[in-house]
Structure 1
Amino acid sequence: MSGLRVVPAWRHGLERLYVCRPDGRNIAWYDREAGRVNLLSEELGQDVLAVLQPFITGPVTVGPPPVPSPAELARLSLHPDDDLAPNRPGEALLIALDRDPGPPRRLRPDPRRRALAAEQTVGDALDRLDGAGWHTLHSVPLPGGDRVHHLVIGPGGVYCVRSLYARRRRVVVTDPMVAVGRHEPRALLRGLRADADRASYALTAEVRPVLALAEPSALALTTPPREVRVVRDADLSELARTGGVLKPADVEGLHAVARDRRTWTRV
């Protein structure tokens, strides 16, 4: 009898089965998702496989733990309070509405709720790019109370995306002005370019601005926007077709830097 025991645990949202000595020290773990048994002590490899046998499903690779990449080391050392990756689309607005939901009845809808709906619509579309090698961070805080609605990092580069509520409304873009329905035009593209410049400074990488319209009825570009891409939320999947700008290691490295709240404190 080896005296080894199997202890299930969750790490980064995934289940792992740890193999422990009688004194409680870990000597191996089984990552079912990766199909790998990681050994900290190769001399006990046969004993580890014997005790894990009832839990193993399918073929497995056995060996020492893989050496973590610099991006993985940065993620592992990041304090949870400084990690922006768990932010939901519209995180800042969700917190603001939770603290101050406003009066129960209003003659006009709370503009924060429309802005939230836009960020959630656009954010959900961007999150669906994850399987294509992209990462999206939501509600990235900037000094002075500003924020980047969505920061997208992938093979096609880095994008600063601003959401705009336009449900069933015609949007007219005359750089730098944007008019939604009958509302007065606003110089949204000027602020979007400024956000992209700040993100570029923080990441020391080119960041391209994108204005994402949530459910517009029509879009008219009377003046081609300078450096800014204007898209409907339904067309955001086109970003996944772009590539050739960043290698996978560069994507992971930039994501590790961008998800750290401290990266954005001096921009």
Structure 2
Amino acid sequence: MKFSFKSTATLFALVVSTTLIFSSCKKDKSEAFTSTKLKSVTAPDNQVSLTYNANGTIKTAALKNDFVTSGDLVNYQVSYNAQGKISEITSDEDIRIVPIYQNGVLAEASFETLSGIELFVTTYTYQNNFLKSVQINSAAGEAWLKFVFTNSASGNVEKTEFYFQNPLQPDLFIFGGTVTSTYDNKPNPLYAAKDLLHLLWVPASPNNMLTEIHKDDNNILEETVNYTYQYHSNGVPKSAVMQSTVVGQQPVNSAITFSYF
């Protein structure tokens, strides 16, 4: 796993919008679509692909985005404990992620090399059983990144606050900006993989994002993003068009497609 920390707007677009990365499935239009098990999600420069064990748990994941993988396609192998919780994730880039649970809930995760050198520690907090914050510190305890989420009653992430390391006081965070979001009422196929995604610092909402408004640390608008979907007969997304408009620039449209097993 590689890490690339870029501008606030780019970071938010990758972290929040990764819950909407898709690859399309061709079905006869007259045939009722019943599958909800996601195979892959593909957008320009972004990808998530999943395989499953016989019991339905995720066996492998392939992820590509600028934030987590620096634009490379990275493969992850997922292992489980006797309780069915993720016990370890290993990548083909010499990284092991080891989660710690408290009362059956993900509380902490250690990022380390396969030889055992600790790199990062992620801590998780919750409110009303939904993920409230993700904080990432270096092995030495220095503040790196922090995300604070405001959730709707149904668990959709309606607002994300971003904090990054204070260059003058590396053990403290400074505010970096926000993203506010709205959602449809259809099932997000990536929500079933939320335990895995949370370990990779990607929040997953139950429904599909319709809009994003990105603002900087001074509450100044930086970018708006709108999603328009086509759905299968059972409500899961079939494809989408993402229109991104950076302030002062022309809108850019990108195709997003989903595929299912």
TM-score (norm 1): 0.22
Structure whose CA Rg is larger: 1
Q: Which has the higher contact order (CA 8 A, sep 6+)?
A: 2
Task: Please state which structure has a larger fraction of its residues in strand.
Answer: 2
User: Going by fraction, where is helix more abundant, 1 or 2?
Assistant: 1
